[in-house]
Amino acid sequence: MAPRLKVFVTSDGLTDYVVAASSKAKALAAWGSRQDLFKTGLAHQTDDPRLVTAAKANPGEVLRRPAGGRDALAGLKPARKPKPAGPSKAALKKVADLEKALATLEAEHAKALSEIEDQRAELDRKAEALTSRFQVERSRRQESLAAARRALE
């Protein structure tokens, strides 16, 4: 047996929102409300035959009309659907651009480190050559000094 539908109405002051649902909780969910509008008196069940007929023709769908309007219900329109929870195209593009910028920065950093390592290797070779030349010159002078000391004895 299908659930018995009731028609509920709420308003934001400019627009009346009408929905046919089996319970108040389902009506609140259809409106996207996190607050109990029935408890605060902002929503109520209605028996208005025009609203009942229109809402029951589209169960679970939120319909709207100008607030307090008693116009013909032909003006009822489906409410806007909520936006999907996924990221927007702009947000995806921003993330892609930032990832590209980060990759470029990391490549520049790796290149700079490579250049520094090359310079360090070159400096190490120069230091080794200087040390080798220094040791040769030092041993030659030590031999000269030792020979001069022997000559003094």
- Long-range Cβ pairs for the range 66-71 (8 Å, 24+): 66/14, 66/15, 66/16, 67/11, 67/12, 67/13, 67/14, 67/15, 67/16, 68/11, 68/16, 69/16
Rg (C-alpha) for the chain, rounded Å, is 43
Q: What is the pLDDT of residue 1?
A: 46
Q: Is a pLDDT exceeding 50 seen at residue 152? A: yes
Q: Is a pLDDT exceeding 70 seen at residue 140? A: yes
Q: Hey, which residues does 11 pair with through a beta bridge?
A: 16
pLDDT tens, residue by residue, 81-116: 666 778 888 999 999 999 999 999 999 999 999 999
Do the strands 63-66 and 77-78 form a parallel or antiparallel pair, or are they unpaired?
Answer: antiparallel
pTM: 0.48
CA dist list (Å): 130 to 116, 117, 119, 140, 141: 21, 20, 16, 15, 16
Do the strands 77-78 and 43-45 form a parallel or antiparallel pair, or are they unpaired?
Answer: unpaired
> Helix or strand or coil: residue 146?
helix
> Helix or strand or coil: residue 13?
coil
> Helix or strand or coil: residue 82?
coil
Q: Is a pLDDT exceeding 90 seen at residue 133? A: yes
At residue 141, φ and ψ (nearest 5 deg) are -70, -35
Average pLDDT over residues 50-79: 72
